[in-house]
Amino acid sequence: MGVLEDKGRARLFYKYLSTVYDRINPLVWNEEMRDEALDRTGIEAGDRVLDVGCGTGFGTEGILQHTDDVHGLDQSIHQLEKAWAKFGKTDQVNFYRGDAERLPFDDNRFDHYWSSGSIEYWPNPVDAIEEARRVTRPGGTVLMVGPDAPTTSLFGKIADAIMLFYDSDEADRMFREAGFTDLTHVIMQANPGSPRAIVTVATVPKE
């Protein structure tokens, strides 16, 4: 487990990162990538969407282009403060401080679930993916964005010592273990040489 796959250390990390997050994030995960990923979700006007690990609201901003029923959750009060400054005063988004592995919502509460740049900090990602399935209605989509595993063993060891990096095979394992059978993976990259993102889109099974 990487040093940032610990809730306390992750919160401390984001206490300081939140001050520059909006300037750094587009170097790895930009609007074009976000919007391409959102087009894969099937979100329609009026759909209720949960944004887990919403951070300062970069993904939230994109979701609002599709629907006005958006709910953002994050464990970092510092990230939430940044998001609240953008959207809170206009009542565009309902914000919650909470844990991806223990979501404070009823079953089938949302039409879609979105999480970008958060899974790499979860100590128990399969538990969080199970929670995503639980709170999303059957037939809805769960989309998660995380860091694609480095292609060399040296960088892989360094990356794994920091946080979770994974490839499509590992994404398959985690999502199937959480009960998903219909899923696809897409690799995205902001610029040649920049870190790659792995985007997984899964459909909640109809029981």
Encode pLDDT of 96-123 as tens digits.
999 999 999 999 999 999 999 899 889 8
Query: Is residue 1 domain-resident?
Result: no
Instruction: Report the pLDDT averaged over residues 33-61.
Output: 95
| Total domains in the fold of the chain | 1
Q: Give the domain range for residue 101.
A: 7-203
Q: What is the mean pLDDT of residues 30-45?
A: 95
Question: Rounded CA gap, 136 and 70, in Å?
Answer: 13
Question: Residue 39 above 60 pLDDT?
Answer: yes
pLDDT band at residue 16 under the 50/70/90 scheme: very low
Asked if pLDDT for residue 4 goes beyond 50, the answer is no
Beta-bridge partner residues of 143? 114, 201
In a domain? residue 36: yes
Residue 160, pLDDT score? 47
24 or 157: which carries more pLDDT confidence?
Answer: 24
Residue 84 lies in a domain: yes
The CATH number that applies at residue 174 is 3.40.50.150
Q: What's the pTM value of the predicted model, to 2 decimals?
A: 0.85
- Residue 165 in any domain: the answer is yes
13: pLDDT strictly greater than 60: no
